[in-house]
């Protein structure tokens, strides 16, 4: 079920993610909504049968000052005659984002395109029923490990997406510590480049976990999202959330503004939050311009108010705008 860190000059690295009991390897249903929801400035991709499978992991340590945030993103574009996989990973240590992995390769056809396949720097182990048990980066030596300890909860979206939260332990050359791990598993048709934000937040004591998933077009600063929360062992789905990007700042390389803060609320304000960026890593992607697509990694802190209780939170945002 779900899913770290080195210095800027990477120590010999082994990144291991062990999933207790394995992670279900069944295919996620394909969300067809994006097939007719492309931006008016963008032509549909050639090959209408192409499907993007996304399998993302994010680890947030219990102590944000001592260990790390690790996002590890797997994307696979599957067409009638070919499969292309991109794997990327970064780590946040001491308020600095470092790149651990950037690997893109053609895989040919495969019978199970939703599965992560080993190759190049990526290794994995599987258990019974081909369930994924571990992932690692083959870069010689050891020193970094993340073990999945237990599943806390599982949420699913209306299109069959699955979001899992579990406990994990990160072990570094300098020490080890535990934290929460999010896994995101979904499939969408006719999407060359994902757009939108997903946010994984937690309280310091771990009693509150929040996941928000939103899609916006171009430079929309107010956009719809849905959220799931787990507080004191109770899961709640919030299908109607409005997210507002705040504190916009220029990102010159992409010639557009990006947010450095967010607020969100349900219509009756049973769930309300405000977030502020701390450490940020922005990437301008290739495009026809003059305004370029952007991806960003954000370490954030803020507060969430749920049914009147205000709780400090910290976490991670994956930001993407086409």
Domain boundary among 164, 192, 220: 192
User: Is 60 found in the same domain as 119?
Assistant: yes
**pLDDT for res 217:** 61
Judge contact between 141 and 115, C-beta under 8 A.
Answer: no
User: Is 153 found in the same domain as 29?
Assistant: yes
**Tens of pLDDT along the chain (322 residues)?**
333 333 333 333 334 444 444 455 566 767 665 543 333 333 334 445 788 899 999 999 998 676 679 888 999 888 887 888 899 988 888 889 988 888 898 877 777 777 887 878 887 777 777 766 677 777 654 556 667 778 899 999 888 889 999 998 776 666 677 899 999 998 888 666 666 789 999 999 999 999 999 876 656 789 999 999 999 999 999 999 999 998 999 999 999 999 999 999 999 999 999 999 999 999 998 888 788 989 999 999 999 999 888 999 999 999 988 7
CATH of the domain at 280: 2.40.370.10
The phi, psi pair for 215, rounded to 5°, reads -125, 130
Domain boundary among 154, 172, 192: 192
Peptide bond into 175 cis (omega under 30): no
Domain boundary among 154, 173, 192: 192
User: Is 182 found in the same domain as 45?
Assistant: yes
User: Is 172 found in the same domain as 239?
Assistant: no
Structural domain boundaries enclosing 129: 1-192
Q: Say how far apart CA 293 and CA 187 lie, in whole Å.
A: 21
């Amino acid at each position: 079920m779900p899913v770290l860190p080195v210095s800027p000059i990477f120590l010999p690295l082994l990144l291991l993610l062990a999933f207790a009991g394995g992670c279900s390897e069944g295919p996620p249903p394909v969300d067809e909504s994006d097939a007719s929801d492309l931006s008016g400035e963008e032509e549909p991709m050639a090959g209408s049968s192409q499907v993007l499978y996304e399998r993302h992991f994010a680890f947030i340590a219990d102590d944000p000052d001592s260990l790390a945030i690790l996002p590890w993103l797997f994307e696979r574009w599957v067409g009638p005659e070919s499969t292309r996989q991109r794997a990327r990973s970064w780590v946040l240590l001491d308020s600095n984002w470092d790149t651990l992995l950037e690997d893109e390769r053609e895989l040919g056809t495969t019978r199970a395109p939703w599965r992560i396949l080993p190759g190049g720097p990526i290794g994995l182990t599987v258990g019974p029923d081909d369930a994924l048990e571990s992932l690692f980066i083959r870069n010689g030596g050891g020193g970094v490990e993340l073990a999945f300890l237990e599943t806390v909860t599982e949420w699913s979206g209306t299109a069959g997406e699955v979001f899992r939260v579990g406990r994990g332990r990160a072990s570094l050359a300098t020490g080890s510590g535990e934290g929460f791990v999010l896994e995101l598993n979904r499939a969408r048709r006719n999407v060359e480049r994902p757009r939108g934000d997903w946010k994984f937040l937690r309280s310091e004591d771990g009693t509150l976990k929040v996941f928000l998933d939103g899609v916006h077009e171009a430079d929309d600063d107010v956009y719809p999202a849905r959220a799931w929360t787990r507080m004191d062992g109770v899961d709640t789905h919030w299908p109607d959330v409005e997210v507002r990007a705040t504190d916009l700042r220029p990102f010159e390389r992409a010639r557009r503004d990006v947010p450095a803060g967010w607020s969100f609320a349900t219509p009756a304000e049973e769930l309300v939050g405000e977030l502020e960026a701390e450490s940020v890593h922005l990437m301008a992607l290739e495009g026809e311009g003059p305004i370029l697509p952007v991806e960003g990694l954000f370490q954030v802190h803020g507060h969430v108010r749920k049914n009147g209780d205000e709780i400090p939170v910290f976490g991670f945002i994956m930001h993407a705008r086409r």
